[in-house]
């Protein structure tokens, strides 16, 4: 896997990163997925494969930044978004 930062913001005490990761499947097929990482010096949360749709993940990323989402809430917010 090869992770790249697409966009990054700093709000309050956290860094927020929108990431792009290329995943190689067992059939030698490459799949690009987008995720969100929230971190500071003491804590971190990362969901690397939210969706293949950059715009969808970017909207969720911008909402996380706007609401100053804490890392411990990232998994629940992503789960709610996907359901």
* pLDDT 10s digits, 5-14: 999 999 989 9
The answer to whether residue 41 scores a pLDDT higher than 70 is yes
Q: Find the domain containing 22 and state its range.
A: 2-82
The answer to whether residue 17 scores a pLDDT higher than 70 is yes
Number of domains in the chain: 1
- 10-38 b/e (C-beta count within 10 Å ≥ 16 → b): eeeebebbbbbeeeeeeeeeeeebbbbbb
pTM of structure: 0.91
The answer to whether residue 69 scores a pLDDT higher than 80 is yes
For residue 60, how many other CB atoms are within 10 A of its CB? Answer: 23
């Amino acid at each position: 896997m090869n992770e790249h930062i697409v966009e990054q913001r700093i709000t309050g005490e956290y860094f927020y990163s929108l990431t792009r990761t290329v995943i190689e499947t067992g059939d030698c097929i490459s799949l690009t997925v987008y995720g969100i990482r929230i971190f500071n010096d003491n804590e971190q949360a990362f969901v690397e494969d939210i969706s293949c749709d950059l715009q969808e993940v970017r909207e969720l990323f911008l909402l996380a930044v706007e609401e100053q989402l804490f890392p411990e809430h990232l998994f629940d917010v992503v789960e709610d978004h996907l359901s």
